[in-house]
Amino acid sequence: MTETANAVTICSNALLSLGAQPISSFDEAGGAAQLDRAKLAAGLYPQVRKAVLRSHPWNCAIRRVQLSPDAQAPEFGYAHRFLLPGDWLRTLAVGNPERNERIDFRAEGRYLLSDAVVFPLTYIADVDEHQWDSLLVDAMTATMAVRMAYPITKSAAMIETKTAELRAVMQQARSVDGQDEPPETLGDFPLMLARLGGASGWGWSR
């Protein structure tokens, strides 16, 4: 685990990798003639954080629970509904895949609908940064560097460089996870890149 990791240090290290000055707080004020780096980082970080967590089954963020039926059943179609955990970000599996046990279900809002009475759920949780392992910290730092590259440097070449670095970090994460997990359990990093956008469509202004 990376005990010293937090949102500010991750953003600060991303800024340093772009050749910019670090920040010590998201409340730090920028000068009148310079980009407010702290405000930029604070605005981008929450959305990027969840996208990175959802993008890959990070070992440190995987949780298993047995859900119980909600008091109110669906109006029709299924016998029960199950409220997702408050820290849920992405469902990885339902039932017990190791025993080839599958459960028919449907996701609707913050609920999973099913005829099952007990609902085993494996999911990616919204875990605090102090629980992240080093690969997740590196991935988040690299992703923030890509997201801040244009507003900080105004350089398309920097975007390409940082995007290549991000791909390398994610490939390393897949390789390390692949030593413990079967290939089909790995995440959808290409989908994350598509969601966050390419060099021409990242939505730089906020």
- Report pLDDT digits (tens) over 25-67: 998 766 544 578 999 999 999 999 999 999 999 999 999 999 9
- Written as one letter, the residue type at 120 is P
Provide the whole-model pTM: 0.80
Distances (CA, A) of 162 to 17, 37, 46, 47: 9, 18, 20, 19
**By percentage, how much of the chain surpasses pLDDT 70?**
80
Last residue of some domain: 108, 125, 142? 125
Are 36 and 83 in a shared domain?
no
79: left (phi > 0), else alpha (psi -120 to 50), else beta? alpha
Residue 205 in domain: no
Non-local (6+) Cβ contacts of 16 within 8 A are 22
Main-chain phi, psi angles of 85, to 5 degrees: -60, 150
Residue 12 class from Cβ within 10 Å (0-12 exposed, 13-18 middle, 19+ buried)? buried
Are 148 and 94 in a shared domain?
no
What's CA 173's distance to the chain center, in Å? 13
Tell me if 114 sits within 8 A of 82, measured CB to CB. yes
**By percentage, how much of the chain surpasses pLDDT 90?**
70
**What pLDDT, on the 0 to 100 scale, is given for residue 79?**
96
**What pLDDT, on the 0 to 100 scale, is given for residue 180?**
59
Q: Which two tokens stand for residue 32?
A: 């009148």
Instruction: Calculate the average pLDDT of the chain.
Output: 84
pLDDT higher than threshold 60 for residue 162: yes
Residue 206 in domain: no
pLDDT higher than threshold 70 for residue 109: yes
Are 51 and 94 in a shared domain?
no
Q: What is the mean pLDDT of residues 114-122?
A: 94
Count of domains in the chain?
2
Nearest alpha carbon to residue 141 among 40, 58, 33, 17: 17
**What pLDDT, on the 0 to 100 scale, is given for residue 193?**
53
Are 116 and 144 in a shared domain?
no
Residue 44 in domain: yes
Are 121 and 149 in a shared domain?
no
Q: Which two tokens stand for residue 87?
A: 């820290």
Residue 179 in domain: yes
Last residue of some domain: 76, 109, 125? 125
Q: What is the mean pLDDT of residues 84-108?
A: 89
**What pLDDT, on the 0 to 100 scale, is given for residue 72?**
94
pLDDT-wise least confident of 14-23, 107-116, 183-192: 183-192
Residue 41 in domain: yes
pLDDT-wise least confident of 3-7, 8-12, 118-122: 3-7
Residue 39 in domain: yes
Are 80 and 98 in a shared domain?
yes
Find the domain containing 52 and state its range: 7-58+133-196
Tell me if 123 sits within 8 A of 92, measured CB to CB. yes
Q: What is the largest CA-CA distance in the chain?
A: 61
- Written as one letter, the residue type at 29 is A
Last residue of some domain: 125, 156, 176? 125
Q: Which two tokens stand for residue 25?
A: 């707080």
